[in-house]
Each structure stands twice: as C-alpha cells, then as structure tokens.
Amino acid sequence: MHTELMKSLFKSFKEPSLSGRYIHTESILDLLKNSSIKPFVKVIGSSVNNENIYSITIGSGPKKILMWSQMHGNESTTTKAVFDMINVFTASENVPKTILKACTLKIIPILNPDGAKAYTRLNANHIDLNRDAQELSQPESKVLKQIFESFKPDYCFNLHGQRTIFSAGKANNPATVSFLAPAQDENCTITDTRKVAMEIISVMNSHLQQEIPNQVGIYDDAFNLNCVGDTFQNLNVPTVLFEAGHFANDYQREITREYIFQSLLIAIHYISDNNVTGNKYDDYLEIPENQKLFYDIIIKNTSNEDVGIQYIEKLIDNSIHFVPKIEKISDLSSYFSHKEINARGYEVLTTKGKSVSEGSENVFVSINNEKSSLKLKNN
C-alpha cells in the first residue's frame, strides 16, 4: 500500500467519535451497534465487574489474525486506530477486497474494560493481565486464551501503548512506534516462528522510516512466559507486539494513532499478499532498541542540578489530566526532553519560595521571581 493511499484512507475513515486518551466500553458501544459493524460483533465474555468483552470478526479468508487492544486499560491509542481500520474494511471501496478474501480478522477492541473505565493498567482485581498468561487467574485472561484456542490464529497482534520516557535507541528521537517479536524461549532463540513476526515488523518499519525516520524502536526480548506475547510465540504462533508512543506535542496520541493505523494496514496487506516465511527478517535486527532517556520537561542551567519532570496521567471528572511531577533532580546531561526550560543560572523554587523536591507535584515553578507553568497546553 502506498503512503498517500493510507493517508487518504485515514483522513476519510478516522473514527470521529473517538479521541483523546480516555477510551472505554461506553465510548465504543454506539460503534458496535452501527449497521456496518453490528453483524460482526459478538460478546465473548465478561470482566471482573461483569462488563462485556466484545470481539469483531471481519473477513472470510484462511489466514487468521487475532488482535487485542487495551489489555492495559490506560493504553487506548491502538483502540482508536483499530476502529479507524475497521471503518476502512467495512466501508471503503479503495482497499482491495482480496484482503478480506485472504484474511479473517478477529479483533478484541477492549480486553480490560474495568481497567479502561478506571484508566488504570491493571484490571479490577489489580492484576496485570499481561503477566497472567500462565496462571490464567483472571476472567479477562481466560477469555483471551479461549478465543486463541477456538479461533486458532495464524498471527497475533498484541496492541499496547508506551510512556513518553522511551527513545528509539540512544539518540534524541522519541520512540513514536515500537515493536517486538517476543522471545519463544529463555535463550531468546531466533526461531522460525519469531522470524515470521520479525519479517512483518521489518515491513512495517520500512514504511514508517519514510514517515517518522529514526522514531521506531524495539523492546528488549527478555523471555517471560507469564507474558501473553511470549506464551503465544512459545505456542508457535507468530506474535507481534505493537506499542503506540510519543510524537512531539502529541500527548493525546492523535498523530501516533495514524502511524498505528498505517502499520496495521501494512501488516495485514503484507500477510494477505504473501506467504510469510520469515526469510526476510534480517532488517528487524537493525532496528534500535528502546532506551529510557526522555523526560517530559528538563529545567537546565539551574544554580544547582537539572530538574527532570514527568507528567502523571490522572482521571479527574471523566477527563485525563497530565499533572507535572518532579521525577529527578540530578545531572541529566545524558538525557533528553520533550520540552526544555532554561533557568539561566537561577534556582528553581516552588511558588512559595521553597526549593523543589523529588516526588512533588508542581504545576508552576518560580525562576528568578518569574512564575513558569509546567502544564500542558489545552490540559
């Protein structure tokens, strides 16, 4: 698929009812009842709090792709992109229908509805579902495993979101999109199954380098069988981890949303058009590994040490607020920031004239008796 076609599709089929970071089951109910999607929707289980977990099945082809989003309730960017993609497949005449004749897509848009409603990573029992693949102690984990076993996918897409702290490698480039072909064993062997996942990631990366050069990373592949991706890879199903990350000033993740949308279309089109053998996996090994090198703000040139600030996401009155928290006061010369403030040699104080301290939440600071806002614009 050409870049211009995908941009045109995103512009035409971006789901207007979904925006921002706070996406939960109530946000998507009207979409699930829409006449173009409703025939493909099924309730496949329920959460700890008895919220429905839905699947959407599109296509009729022999190549089966299972994907799930919001396993972590506060990672919603991929859910938006999934519905943008669904709009394309259910309404567009521009995408070859051969894709849906070659592939069957089973999509779980929100696996963790309780976590999504509370805007937390964990489910209502305070369990990380992505560490529950073996114990299967939670109803949501059991739902995913049951679908995996009944659908018998040829490929799995594990859709997540990542914090603003990640850089693509050791350079001053945010990891806007990240991937991983999870390990299949403790030795992180590059197995035939992993090679297939790596080849798919290589194709997506090749495209994204034209759009966001040097802003794609991969995660460390340390093996953990308790993780869902590692488990499914261990069962010889090529599994790809998608991570929606930060683009400059895009804290609502509306720009990253498009890159996830493009990546999904690229991957599905590639699978539909090719016998993916894993022979073309080498380029995956050249993608830089993510590093934790970013702060949201660094105040530099202070009278003492640099001040590193991260935004804490809080759900307040059904809206996500980004609250500035002083994470580190130290020499941060080896780190990068999404925004930099020059203290011009002055001390950084609270608005009450006291020295700032690690762990404190400060919406404003005072530098040379001038009040400086740490708030995000439009927050």
As annotated, the residues of the chain forming the CATH 2.30.40.10 domain(s) are 294-373
- For the segment 113-123, the average pLDDT, to the nearest whole number, is 98
User: What is this structure's pTM?
Assistant: 0.97
**3-state DSSP assignment of residue 306:** strand
Which tokens belong to 24? 């939960």
Does the domain at 294-373 match CATH 2.30.40.10? Answer given as yes
Band (pLDDT 50/70/90 cuts) for residue 205 is: very high
Which amino acid, residue 277? T
What's the confidence (pLDDT) of residue 35?
83
Which stretch of DSSP H or E encloses residue 32? helix 25-32
Q: Residue holding tokens 């001390």?
A: 347
Contact 239, 200 (CB under 8 A): no
| Between residues 3 and 136, the one the model is more confident about | 136
- For the segment 188-213, the average pLDDT, to the nearest whole number, is 98
Q: Residue holding tokens 């859709």?
A: 159
Decide if pLDDT at 120 tops 90: yes
CB crowding 16-30: b at 16 or more within 10 Å, else e:
eebeebbbbbebbee
As annotated, the residues of the chain forming the CATH 3.40.630.10 domain(s) are 3-292
Decide if pLDDT at 379 tops 70: no
Q: Average model confidence (pLDDT) for the chain?
A: 96
What phi-psi label fits residue 249: left (phi over 0), alpha (psi between -120 and 50 degrees) or beta?
left
Contact 56, 107 (CB under 8 A): yes
**3-state DSSP assignment of residue 35:** coil
Architecture per CATH, domain 3-292, reads as 3-Layer(aba) Sandwich (3.40)
Cβ neighbours for 149, distance < 8 A, ≥ 6 positions apart: none
C-alpha distance from residue 111 to each of 108, 115, 128, 221, 307 (Å) = 6, 9, 12, 23, 38
Q: Residue holding tokens 């608005």?
A: 351
